[in-house]
Amino acid sequence: MALNNDVRPEANELLASVAEQLKVPLAIIARQAELGVLQGRRGLADTPAAQVHGFDAATIATQADAALMLVDSYLLGLELLRTQTQLELEPVSVSSLLVDAAHDLHGFARQYGVTVDLDMAGRYGPVMSNARGLKAALLSLGFALVEAQATQASDLSESVGKKPARVLLAAHRTPHGIVAGMYGTNQAVSASAWRRAQALCGKARQPFAELGAGSAAGLFVADTILRSMESRLRVGRYLHAGGLAATLQPSQQLQLV
């Protein structure tokens, strides 16, 4: 799923229609599995959706929802690229969005044995962004980083003993604005690796091999959405953890903090 503005328009149209169609089976899987979870809680073990012996319905539901979220964010990114439009900027509370994103990531991360922590250094007024776009970007980034953290943690545990994987969602103030990002304790992301990955997006099967084994699609989707909000994803460090973050401009509206 390359988010590439240079590819032939019909290729993007084709990918968009595939992605649109994928939402249906993913929604079926997610909701069927959720129904199984609900029926399990109510003790309705003999109902069809609960009769998936040997499978963890909660894992299926969470993973399908994560895939659905990625496909949906991809479509949003593609639409923004195709129409060359910017998301409408509005005052957005970065703290509450990070809390929301941490909450949404929690179930997914737990399945991978990754802890999600929040760190807000100080109190912030609103930033100029788009709430839906920023949340989609944060979640796309988060799902990708959680997977990468889990892979790196299990790899490290093989060689040097168990090391807990952790993703830190954080915001801090800099002279350039409010930096909101996600950082991991295990990976060492360098700016040059991220630049190389961006250049390889859509051209290589594994453009960001330093981070993980997959296509790192979530990172490119997040970057595309952020670019439509006058921001971008950059490599950053926070509290001895490395990751990716975006700088957001404070809103000039009346602030209490």
Partner 1 sequence: MHVLLLEPNTLLAQTYTQALQQDGFSVAHAASAQTAVFAADKHQPDVVILELQLPEHSGLEFLHEFRSYPEWKDVPVIVHSMLPPTQTIQVEESLRRDLGVKALLYKPRTSLTQLLQTVREQTREIQNQSEKMA
Residues that bind partner 1 (CB under 8 A): 23-24, 26-28, 31-32, 34-35, 38-39, 42, 44, 47-49, 65, 68-69, 71-72, 75-76, 79, 132
Judged by CB, which is closer to partner 1: 85, or 174? 85
**How far is residue 67's CA from residue 249's CA, in Å, rounded to a whole number?**
30
| Tokens, residue 78 | 């593609």
Judged by CB, which is closer to partner 1: 71, or 105? 71
**How far is residue 124's CA from residue 193's CA, in Å, rounded to a whole number?**
31
Judged by CB, which is closer to partner 1: 32, or 59? 32
**How far is residue 246's CA from residue 171's CA, in Å, rounded to a whole number?**
10
Count Cβ atoms within 10 A of the Cβ of residue 250 and give its class: 0-12 exposed, 13-18 middle, 19 or more buried: middle
SS3 20: helix
Q: Give me the residue label for tokens 């973050």.
A: 245
In angstroms, give the least distance from the CB of 11 to partner 1.
Answer: 21
Judged by CB, which is closer to partner 1: 138, or 165? 138
In angstroms, give the least distance from the CB of 46 to partner 1.
Answer: 13
| Tokens, residue 31 | 């909701």
Quote the crossing angle between the two packed helices 131-160 and 57-83, to the nearest 10°. 130
**How far is residue 166's CA from residue 199's CA, in Å, rounded to a whole number?**
28
Judged by CB, which is closer to partner 1: 18, or 213? 18
In angstroms, give the least distance from the CB of 68 to partner 1.
Answer: 5
Q: Looking at this protein, which amino acid is placed at residue 67?
A: A
Judged by CB, which is closer to partner 1: 43, or 175? 43
In angstroms, give the least distance from the CB of 41 to partner 1.
Answer: 11
In angstroms, give the least distance from the CB of 27 to partner 1.
Answer: 6
**How far is residue 146's CA from residue 156's CA, in Å, rounded to a whole number?**
15
**How far is residue 17's CA from residue 75's CA, in Å, rounded to a whole number?**
9
In angstroms, give the least distance from the CB of 20 to partner 1.
Answer: 8
